[in-house]
A and B are shown apart, each in its own frame.
Chain A
Amino acid sequence: MVHLSTIPDEQQVISGKLADGIRKAHLQLVNDDDSFTTSVYGSKFAARDLPKHEMPEAEMSKDVAYRLIKDHLSLDGNPILNLASFVTTYMEEEAEKLMAESFSKNFIDYEEYPQSADIQNRCVSMIGRLFHAPIGVEDSVGAIGTSCVGSSEAIMLAVLAMKRRWKNKRVEEGKPYDKPNIVMSSAVQVCWEKAARYFEVEEKLVYCTEDRYVIDPEETVNLVDENTIGICAILGTTYTGEYEDVKAVNDLLTKKGLNIPIHVDAASGGFVAPFVVPDLEWDFRLEHVVSINVSGHKYGLVYPGVGWVVWRSAEYLPQELVFNINYLGADQASFTLNFSKGASQVIGQYYQLIRLGKHGYRAIMSNLTRTANYLSDSLAALGFIIMSKKSGEGLPLVAFRLPPQEDRNYDEFALAHQLRVRGWVVPAYTMAPNTKNLKMLRVVVREDFTRNRCDSLITDINQCQQLLEQMDQDSVKKQQEFIHKHNTSSGKATHNHPKFRREKHSLQGKTGKTHAIC
């Protein structure tokens, strides 16, 4: 049926507007004439510097702005050749499409985007089950969790929860609560140091030794005292990828009758271990493990911007840390450091979880483990000392160093620089303190690092090494400086603030430990 419509006369048109005020207030803002140009590169902007420090007075057309920014970004590295980072650089087109469609959604806006919030709950539930979280029979038991921007936020939240729980207990017992401490390995990621410093918790470090790159359970438990808010165990250290022995720590605590919570930092390992070594007990199957974090944007296979943290049950999350936001009559409980953020990554995570299924994740993680084994064997054959574990005893990464040799003119950093010239980003690190400044190189095997590319890398490592062998000390040094200055971007960096350079408070400042990127 077609609606009949009358044609309004003048009077009706005017009275159609509701109030005089509206008509009067109709603005007539002028638009300046836009200057049209032939193409982006024919415009005046192409011959000028991009505004860097002050906002330009006048606007520029969107095509020009787009093209100039895109050109500027072409100086960024090629993510595929970046073997330094765990962060996902490949997703399927469909996933990209979903994410692109959702990036204007504000994740925190529950009333407006209820479905996106529901998707987060499903992810928490799936990940919780993957970690064998106790499932609530009644409402008050059972795991709870939340999404975060990344593992840094997740860890800060976990530390905050442990600290507050400890404090509440101390207050109850009428004991002082001004000297909390946390026990962790010296190989921790920098965000643990941050969390300890920002929330004023003393760090008690378990140092690595020359041949042990993870915590020693005995030593760890011995460090525990009445002021210990918890123990951090890393499932896959960023240096060598080795899993720390959570079960041993747990069992020792049980044996000694200590009731100290363990937080497992499974930023990288949380999506690897359950698929590759499902029998390894590191998660909520152990009674002292109270919380676990995992990065969705690492082996969770999502683009940067998503992490997860799960608590064993609501009792481990002190109520005063949870904030309720009343919005259109619906209360939202939230425990986050960030508020508004995009919903894309959470949706991307859900896509991957149901798209791949356990089978898909297992297939990918198995391939990564195979590739890592292959690379590890090949490098061992080239004479390197392999520091990482193989075959699922650690993350799919290969950490290696040069064999001890007196007369060598180059070190691991020189090799890293040399590889940079060929386009590979293979970082060199100085290990955690008390390992006599052990240096190492690390290759992270990600989803998009295929066997074929692995072969090219091995060839290049071999060639770079041969080249370095032929050079004497001076030329190695010169070459290294040259590469540092011209081939690495951080060497060219101008943004390093003189005031904050060479700080002395972190493990890095104190001991020369370099942080592995994650």
Chain B
Amino acid sequence: MSLGRHIDPEDIIHHLESVRPPSKSTNKPHHLTAYSTPYTSQRDIPKYEIPREGAPSDTVYSMINDELDLDGRPNLNLASFVDTYLDPNARKLFTSNLAKNLADNDEYPALLSMSERCVSILANLWGASKSEHAVGSPTVGSSEAVHLAGLSLKRRWQAKMKAQGKSIHEPGPNIIMGSNAQVALLKFARYFEVDARILPVSEKSDFCLDPDLVRENVDENTIGVFVILGSTYTGHYEPVERICQLLDEIQKEKGWDVDVHVDAASGGFVAPFTYAGAGQKWNFELPRVKSINVSGHKYGLVTPGIGWIVWRDEKYLPEELIFELHYLGGTEKSYTLNFSRPGAQVVVQYYNLIHLGFGGYREIMENCLANARVLSRGLEETGWYTCVSDIHRPVKSNSVTGRIKAAAETVTGSGTGGEEEEEKETSAGYTPGLPVVSFRFTDEFKQEFPHIKQEDVSLLLRARQWIIPNYALPPNEDKTEILRVVIRESMSFDLLDRLVTDIVQVTEQLIDHDEVDLSIMRKQRGRKHPNRKTDKGKGESVKEKVGEEVKRLNGGIHRSVC
């Protein structure tokens, strides 16, 4: 045993106490619980400048978390197509892959192989031909996908014109789309300097791209036609097959070979699964369809941040757009606008594809459509509303119905049989479309109660937590305003029941009120915005300014969030 000098601990403590510098209690925040720091009552949460000193992690967590409580409830937001529900396992996968970078292929090879599988599965789902080599890529969303598709259209057109010795600057390229197009399509035209030929929609064309107008507007400088599978306004599918036929005719007559890109942001995961289909051919079965994009975060059932683009064959992707990256001896191809980005969404997309399978997706999409039909009928039953969307209307032409039904039977033939099958109502007999219900006041209602504005319904429903936007249809139908409900996976029958009840009660409430009451209500609403503006501080107000100056940029087109 080693010898030790006797030490008196009391002595040491006494000594230490005397030499210890006076405590600087003001320096470190007193911190017992998340709410016991100066941020709780004395200091404002930093808004415009990084604070000099930080704060404990649990405090910051609860500060931000509490503030986010003011955000809306995702499930009651019926304005958006974007998915808000993930099952717990998908959630787990998402969280554990949050830190993975999709661009880092060398480090995350498994992630990369999953994204390849998804591309492959989608290409097959959309009828890619076995004799061609489909290529595709994950994107952040359909916007990026549309930019990429448009850029490849433009490059192919440039190459074609150069080969023919024609000018690519005078008069320059143009692209055709309906005025119901999502803002991303217009952005493409503006950013990549292509003249956008935005064709007006009409009731005749179901508020979609009108084939007759396409014929009038195509010329040899048309790089392509954007056809939308699932208009965001009314959920109608645009006539892809008809437009392709028409472009075939034009090619025969005049020799202009114009390609089609299908923006299936919402419909790409609906049409292939439902019994109704798209009511026509729309995918790679049509040779003129060169590329298709879809949003994984809409009916692909993934949370925001994922889209997909597929070209029918590698030859439609001009080589000069592809960049090679070398890592540690390996090589990667890339054709994206974003580089580093999260990979978790890709994992969840793959999870959904194999967890749900074709059958699972079909069941969900059929449920959504069925709920949409219920809502449509419920609304029309009141006599106050009429639907602009058509998914609850039986298909008019018998031959088409017959064909679809036959197709549906062959698909389900192998599934569960029995008598139950026959009772089941599917979307087969109805007009195909997205599970979207767009509705407006009936003409009789408007005559009877001219003082009630449709946006009041939206406003009062907002007070009941529902978000149902009211906006004008695209030009030239912008005199008509619609209320739009997007039926997503998480919109259960029970919730739907509640929604119909609330819409009816709100409408009754409006009928009971006279004009004066309503005008007061509208005034209050108008006041909401200036208040918000002053809260936002300098940085924001400048942005708003920019916003205001270009307010009429779109010529009065109201663009819906998708």
Contacts and interface: CB of A to CB of B under 8 A. Distances in A.
A156 to B, nearest CB: 6
B163 interface: no
Given A26-B493, A151-B339, A351 B536 contact: no
Kindly name the residue among B116, B317, B342 whose own CB sees the greatest number of chain A CB atoms within 10 A.
B342
A112 B72 contact: yes
Contacts of A502: 324
Interface stretch (B79-87, B206-214, B217-225, B442-450): B79-87
B338 A420 contact: no
A129 interface: yes
Nearest to A425: B107
B365 to A, nearest CB: 11
A113 B561 contact: no
A104 B84 contact: yes
Contacts of A141: 542
Given A98-B64, A503-B320, 20 more contacts: A19-B381, A53-B117, A55-B354, A58-B359, A69-B347, A76-B110, A79-B107, A85-B107, A87-B101, A95-B61, A139-B541, A178-B169, A303-B99, A324-B559, A329-B529, A337-B338, A339-B182, A341-B304, A357-B55, A490-B109
29 contacts: A18-B381, A21-B381, A56-B354, A59-B356, A76-B110, A89-B99, A94-B57, A107-B304, A109-B561, A114-B532, A129-B49, A191-B339, A197-B321, A297-B340, A320-B553, A322-B546, A326-B558, A331-B547, A339-B562, A340-B141, A351-B64, A357-B53, A425-B107, A484-B329, A490-B109, A490-B330, A491-B328, A495-B113, A503-B323
A235 interface: no
B541 A416 contact: no
Contact of B104 (A61, A128, A517): A517
Kindly name the residue among A153, A322, A323 whose own CB sees the greatest number of chain B CB atoms within 10 A.
A323
A199 B71 CA distance: 37
A145 interface: yes
B46 interface: yes
Nearest to A193: B323
A101 interface: yes
A65 B347 CA distance: 11
A25 B359 contact: no
B324 A66 contact: no
Contact of B543 (A91, A104, A144): A144
B110 A113 contact: no
Nearest to B74: A104
Given A22-B500, A85-B101, A339-B184, A65 B342 contact: no
A469 B498 CA distance: 76
A82 B103 CA distance: 14
A305 B542 contact: no
Given A139-B542, A500-B322, A105 B561 contact: no
Nearest to B373: A25
Contact of A355 (B54, B79, B425): B54
Contacts of B7: none
Interface stretch (A115-123, A249-257, A370-378): A115-123
B65 A98 contact: yes
Interface string B309-351: 0000011010111111111111111101111111111010011
A37 B360 CA distance: 19
Interface in A333-374: 333, 336-345, 347, 350-351, 353-361
A82 to B, nearest CB: 5
A314 B544 CA distance: 10
B544 to A, nearest CB: 7
Interface string A16-40: 0111111011111111100000000
Interface stretch (B12-20, B88-96, B196-204): B88-96
Contacts of B51: 354, 357-358
B68 interface: yes
Interface stretch (B187-195, B241-249, B253-261, B394-402): B187-195
A73 B305 contact: no
B507 to A, nearest CB: 11
A360 B54 contact: yes
A416 B107 contact: no
A114 to B, nearest CB: 7
Contacts of B355: 59-62, 64-66
A113 B82 CA distance: 13
A360 B45 CA distance: 17
B79 A328 contact: yes
B425 to A, nearest CB: 6
A327 B561 contact: yes
Given A60-B357, A303-B99, A295 B351 contact: no
A46 interface: no
A209 interface: no
A152 B342 contact: no
Nearest to A56: B357
B50 A357 contact: yes
Interface string B132-148: 01010000111110010
A493 B539 contact: no
Contact of B50 (A339, A354, A515, A518): A354
Interface stretch (B277-285, B415-423, B432-440, B509-517): B415-423
Pairs of residues from A and B, 6 with the lowest C-beta to C-beta distance, nearest first: A490-B330, A333-B547, A489-B109, A19-B381, A21-B377, A65-B355
Contacts of B321: 197-198
A506 interface: yes
Given A27-B425, A54-B121, A427-B327, A98 B61 contact: yes
Contacts of A509: 324
Given A58-B357, A126-B49, A327-B561, A149 B338 contact: yes
B151 interface: yes
Contacts of A55: 121, 124-125, 353-354, 357-358, 361
Given A94-B61, A103-B303, A109-B80, A79 B100 contact: yes
B424 interface: yes
Given A319-B546, A324-B547, A332-B547, A52 B120 contact: yes
B546 A488 contact: no
B135 A327 contact: no
Given A104-B303, A303-B99, A324-B547, A197 B320 contact: yes
A333 B382 CA distance: 38
A195 to B, nearest CB: 9
A18 B382 CA distance: 9
Given A125-B49, A357-B52, A427-B328, A105 B71 contact: yes
Given A359-B52, A490-B328, A19 B382 contact: yes
A398 B545 CA distance: 45
B380 A21 contact: yes
Contact of A112 (B80, B344, B537): B80
A70 interface: yes
B144 to A, nearest CB: 5
Given A56-B354, A427-B327, A149 B109 contact: no
A492 interface: yes
B47 A122 contact: yes
Contact of A351 (B49, B61, B84, B326): B61
Given A51-B354, A493-B330, A88 B108 contact: no
Nearest to A25: B374
A121 B547 CA distance: 15
Contacts of A149: 140, 338, 341
A123 to B, nearest CB: 10
